[in-house]
Structure 1
Amino acid sequence: MSEEKLYAVKNDEGKYLDIDLPIWWDDKAGSAFKRIDLAFRWAKKYDGHVVTLIEEPKKVVLSEKQAEIVEDAHNDKLPACYISSKSDDEELLMNAYVNGYTVAKEKKYNVKVPHTEGWHFQKYSSASKLGPRNNWKPFPAKDIDSNMSKGLFLFTEAEIEHYGLQDCEKEEVTDDEQ
Structure 2
Amino acid sequence: MSEEKLYAVKDDEGEYWDFGGKTNRFWSLLSVEVPVTDNKEIASTVAKATGGQVVALVEEPKKVVLTKEQAEIVDTARVSDIPATYISARTDEYNGEESLLINAFANGYTVEKEKKYLVELCGLVTTDGAKQYLTKKNGKWFACRRMPGMHQDFTDKELNAAPEWAQQLNREEVNDDAD
Work out whether the TM-score is over 0.5: yes
Looking at structure 2, the residues matched to 68 and 140 of structure 1 have their Cα atoms a distance apart, in angstroms, of 36
The C-alpha deviation readout for 1:83-135, integer Å capped at 9, x for no partner, is 12222211011111111111122232322234644453134xxxx226xxxxx
For structure 1, the 5+ residue unaligned runs are: 131-135
Percent same amino acid at aligned positions? 40
**Matched residue pairs, number?**
163
Alpha-carbon distance between aligned partners in 2 of 1:169 and 1:17, rounded to the nearest angstrom? 59
14, 37, 61: which one aligns with 1:57: 61
Q: Does the Cα contact within 8 Å between 2:119 and 2:133 map onto a contact in 1?
A: no
The aligned residue for residue 177 of structure 2 is 175
Matched letter for residue 16 of structure 1: Y
Q: How does 1:129-148 map to 2 (within 5 A)?
A: 129=138, 136-141=140-145
Secondary structure, counterpart of 1:122 in structure 2? strand
Higher strand share: 2
Indicate the RMSD between aligned Cα atoms, in angstroms: 3.2
Q: Which one has more relative contact order, counting CA pairs under 8 Å at least 6 apart?
A: 1
Greater mean alpha carbon deviation, residues 89-98 or residues 79-88: 79-88
Query: Which whole-Å CA distance do the structure 2 matches of 1:76 and 1:172 have between them?
Result: 38
Q: Matched residue of 1:138: which SS?
A: strand
Cα distance in 2 for residues equivalent to 1:168 and 1:137: 16
Q: Which runs of no fewer than 5 residues in structure 2 stay unpaired?
A: 127-131
> What CA deviation, in whole Å up to 9, does each residue of 1:32-59 have, x standing for no partner?
1111233234335534343322222221
- Counterpart for residue 133 of structure 1: none
3-state DSSP class of the match of 1:65?
Answer: helix
TM superposition score normalised by structure 2: 0.70
Task: Decide which moves more: 161-170 or 77-86.
Answer: 161-170
